[in-house]
Each structure stands twice: as C-alpha cells, then as structure tokens.
Amino acid sequence: MSNWRCVKKCGACCHLDPSDRPELPNYLTPEELTLYLSMVGADGWCINFDQVSRECRIYADRPRFCRVEAEVFWDLYAVEPEELNEFAIDCCRQQIAGVYGDKSEEMTRFNHEIEA
C-alpha cells in the first residue's frame, strides 16, 4: 500500500488559482477564504511559494487549509481519518497533473516517493 507524503520541491499545491477551485467557499470559512485569496499572486501561485527554491517560505506557520492532517481534512472535507492517505494521494495526483502534467518529473517523483 502506498503512503502519502509531501514531496520536496514540488509545490503543485501552492498553485492557488481560485478559478481552478470554484468550490472554495463551500469548505473555507469567510475568514479563511479572505486569507486564501490574499495569498494568490497575479500568476496564480501562492505569494509565499519561492519559485526558485520551490519551497514554502512560511511552512511552519502555514494556514490550516495548507496542512494535510486528519483533523483538518475531516473538518474541511469530511474525510475520515482512515481515508486520509488515499484521499491525499488522489488530491496530489490531480493537482500535480493539472499544474505540471501526467508525465512530469514532479509526478514521477511523487509516485516514486509514495511507493517507497
């Protein structure tokens, strides 16, 4: 069985373009939605994502909606803790495919990491 893990220097989840996520108001509080929208740069990427190092500048202090944790996924998406692993893997694959492509280096690295 594969185990979800964040793959360094990917950042697909940092592509926050709200046009790609029309359901945001369905699961973020009004305050979180305001924060989310304030984090979106003109190019659709999070303003806290360093595109050179491909790392989050505020990782330790990132907002709740940026965290892959059982409590957060239950609260935001009603995902049961025992379903989190599979759900997170599916989310990452969809986001990586949308941002970088199905055959991208990022997808290859993600698949390799979760199967390790």
Count Cβ atoms below 10 Å from residue 66 Cβ, excluding itself: 18
Whole-number Å distance between alpha carbons of 60 and 111: 25
Q: What are the backbone dihedrals phi and psi of residue 15, each rounded to the nearest 5 degrees, phi first?
A: -85, 100
Read off the pTM.
0.92
- Burial annotation 100-109 (CB, 10 A radius, 16+ → b, else e): beeeeebbee
Residues 54/59/63/65 CA torsion (nearest 10 deg): 60
Q: How far apart are CA 110 and CA 116, in angstroms?
A: 10
Would you say 101 and 15 are in contact if contact means Cβ atoms under 8 Å apart? no
pLDDT tens digits in sequence order for the chain, 116 residues long = 689 999 999 999 999 999 999 999 999 999 999 999 999 999 999 999 999 999 999 999 999 999 999 999 999 999 999 999 999 999 999 999 999 999 999 999 999 999 98
- Residue carrying structure tokens 């046009």: 19
Helix, strand or coil for residue 106? Answer: helix
